[in-house]
Structure 1
């Protein structure tokens, strides 16, 4: 297996293993345990993960766009 394929496989494993991680901070957990508001902690966890995902997606898209632009620029130079 070449190094590039190993890196992609490792990235996929890390992404899929981290999907089940708990995303609640200690303060959110304490507030949910002490209140009887009817909010399920799983719903709060899902909301936190949902909000956390977008900055990573945006950074990934910007990085990909920069990569494509640099690749196109070096192809024109050759």
Structure 2
């Protein structure tokens, strides 16, 4: 099982590096500061949502366990 996970992560890394190169090209240009701020805000929103969902889940589990 671990072997399959390692192979999958190794093969999928090429796709993620391609995405990062495209984002870097947009963010490195000095012309579109609004686009760079939009990409940064999108990253923050995508990062925050899973933490909020897990926090709400743990809250309901804690509430259920204590009552």
Please name the residue that 1:71 is paired with: 66
Distance 1:66 1:40 in 2: 40
Could you state the TM-score of these two structures normalised by the residue count of structure 1?
Answer: 0.48
Compute the displacement of 1:60 (Å). 0.1
1:32-51 counterparts in 2 under 5 A?
A: 32=26, 33=28, 38=32, 40-51=35-46
- What RMSD, in angstroms, separates the aligned Cα atoms of the two structures? 1.9
Could you state the TM-score of these two structures normalised by the residue count of structure 2?
Answer: 0.54
Instruction: Tell me the alpha carbon deviations over residues 20-50 of structure 1, each in whole angstroms, 9 at most, x when there is no partner.
Output: xxxxxx642x22125x7x5620110001101
Gaps of 5+ in 2: 1-19
Please name the residue that 2:56 is paired with: 61
Structure number having the greater helix percentage = 2
Distance 2:43 2:36 in 1: 11
Alignment size in residue pairs: 44
- Higher RCO (Cα < 8 Å, 6 or more apart): 1
Gaps of 5+ in 1: 1-25, 73-78
